[in-house]
Chains A and B, each alone.
Chain A
């Protein structure tokens, strides 16, 4: 990681997620051969924080960009870092097909149930009843459909080798998240296929909640819809 001040809002857990990815890259000793892809959304500036080569991708297209890089440089480690607007909405096709092809890339998917950078509109992951700037009366499934469970959806695909959902709402879960991200990178390095870790994250600014209350909201409101755990894990990585 670079020693710079991050732009994220106070209380946001992007910083923790970044730190975990950085620690994993260092633990594996792969910084010199890692290429990251940042999304459109809050994490667009991820390239300012990781001291590795980076490409910035158009909204939702990070898995396609990652595919291009990895096919040219199969011995490098390629990861994308994407939010839910980017990955679960505009980039649904790219993520589904990268997983289906079994692209040997790692995706860190930050799910905070809202569009962050564009100021709090409904995301595909927004919970039923959740108030956002475009669901002022709460998300009503008759008008706005249902939340997408990306991890479960991708786990059905044969090309997906490792799929897990973790959360950052308390220290024990942060430790679990770190182990999952480590595993996801190892899966790529063993050429086992596509790996994705969905990370439940908080957005105090757009949720209109204090950070502590946001962490509690993840536990009480998000986890019942987005169950934590490993949905798919190859035997090779234990």
Chain B
């Protein structure tokens, strides 16, 4: 199944019945798939007039208690950032897919990972966090999309699936595993018409600074809970690794083959793959520093996640960065050369 279509099918199987979106390459197969699929299961697909409108439709639908999704890419997510901030502030659950393309500006339609800062450090205004899940295969994209709806409902928080153009466009076999169907849970806070109960309010305005601070501290506490419980990562380590490649998504697949090549040349290489970009697996990296002689972070950007890697490693070992950007994909040989250079003492 094509990655983008698999995202759509996974969402439907997770109980998502509402999709509001706006076309942008390279994620158009998601809204196209939803436009065919959702009406067949009694859901609603709506092509909004803009990304701004789409995310605010998501806000309304999520507030009304629905499982709802939107998808976009780079520049479109920038436009949605206003709404994402409001959704986070009003504590509404929803799933947002970003099939990242090259930027900044209009950039290109080729794959990139240069929206890492935007996804993990804000994007919109104010103190808020998204749970950001970064799949590395079409199968994992399916699994994570389904998990994303549960995580969003659990914490009443938007969850972002951060893929890239390659993952969206590639075809791989997928299995939609039998899993306990997590029916949309009771949402007594939703605005569905008061009908016998006190009126509900979905809001992000706290004009009294003391009250807003209290709300911000409440959100911060929630983000702390998420940081403690939702960290996901994969470590590929034969047990003797001295050097770790650190990469996520498509880049991690390239790094996996680099790791094998490195071992053929005698370099004891391992791989650490963050699956949640936020919360970031700081502890996994920190533990690796106990024996690691160095880290090589590889990204399709000019160096964004590497800042979190450096925070985790905290000077205990050299951290080198290698990236290609603008839609270019890091080649295994070039990564290997960087790794060799790190082993030979370069920092």
Contacts and interface: CB of A to CB of B under 8 A. Distances in A.
Given A54-B202, A56-B203, A68 B193 contact: no
Given A53-B199, A55-B59, A58-B82, A93 B53 contact: yes
Nearest to A56: B203
Contacts, number: 129
B86 interface: yes
A157 interface: no
A51 B54 CA distance: 28
A66 B20 CA distance: 13
Nearest to A100: B49
Contact of A93 (B49, B86, B204, B205): B49
A33 interface: yes
B44 A71 contact: yes
A174 B288 CA distance: 73
Contacts of A71: 18, 44, 46, 57, 61
Contacts of A69: 60-61, 63-64, 191
Given A35-B64, A56-B204, A57-B56, A97 B193 contact: no
B57 A76 contact: no
A94 interface: yes
Given A53-B191, A61-B59, A68-B63, 5 more contacts: A31-B194, A32-B196, A64-B56, A73-B193, A96-B49
Interface string A26-66: 00000111110100000010010011111111100100111
B193 A33 contact: yes
Contacts of A68: 18, 20, 56-64, 68
Interface of B: 18, 20, 44, 46, 48-50, 52-54, 56-66, 68, 82-83, 86, 90, 191-196, 199-205
A35 B201 contact: no
A58 B204 CA distance: 9
B56 A94 contact: yes
Interface string A177-220: 00000000000000000000000000000000000000000000
A69 B66 CA distance: 9
Interface in A52-107: 52-58, 61, 64-73, 76, 93-94, 96-97
Contact of A67 (B60, B194, B202): B60
A51 B203 CA distance: 15
Counting chain A CB atoms within 10 Å of each CB, which of B46, B54, B57 scores highest?
B57
Contacts of B195: 32-33
B109 to A, nearest CB: 24
5 contacts: A32-B196, A55-B202, A66-B60, A67-B53, A71-B44
A56 B83 CA distance: 12
A94 B194 contact: no
B193 A72 contact: no
Most A CB contacts (10 A, CB to CB) among B50, B63, B68, B205 go to B63
A52 B201 CA distance: 9
Please list the 7 inter-chain residue pairs (A to B) with the smallest Cβ-Cβ separation, ordered nearest first. Answer: A68-B60, A64-B56, A68-B61, A53-B191, A65-B60, A68-B57, A33-B193
A81 to B, nearest CB: 14
Given A68-B20, A68-B61, A73-B64, A34 B193 contact: yes
Contacts of A96: 49
B48 A64 contact: yes
Nearest to B54: A64
A68 to B, nearest CB: 3
Contact of A47 (B50, B86, B203): B203
A34 B90 CA distance: 20
A52 B82 CA distance: 26
Nearest to A67: B57
Contact of A64 (B60, B62, B63): B60
Nearest to B46: A71
A35 B63 CA distance: 11
Contacts of B61: 68-69, 71-72
A76 B59 CA distance: 17
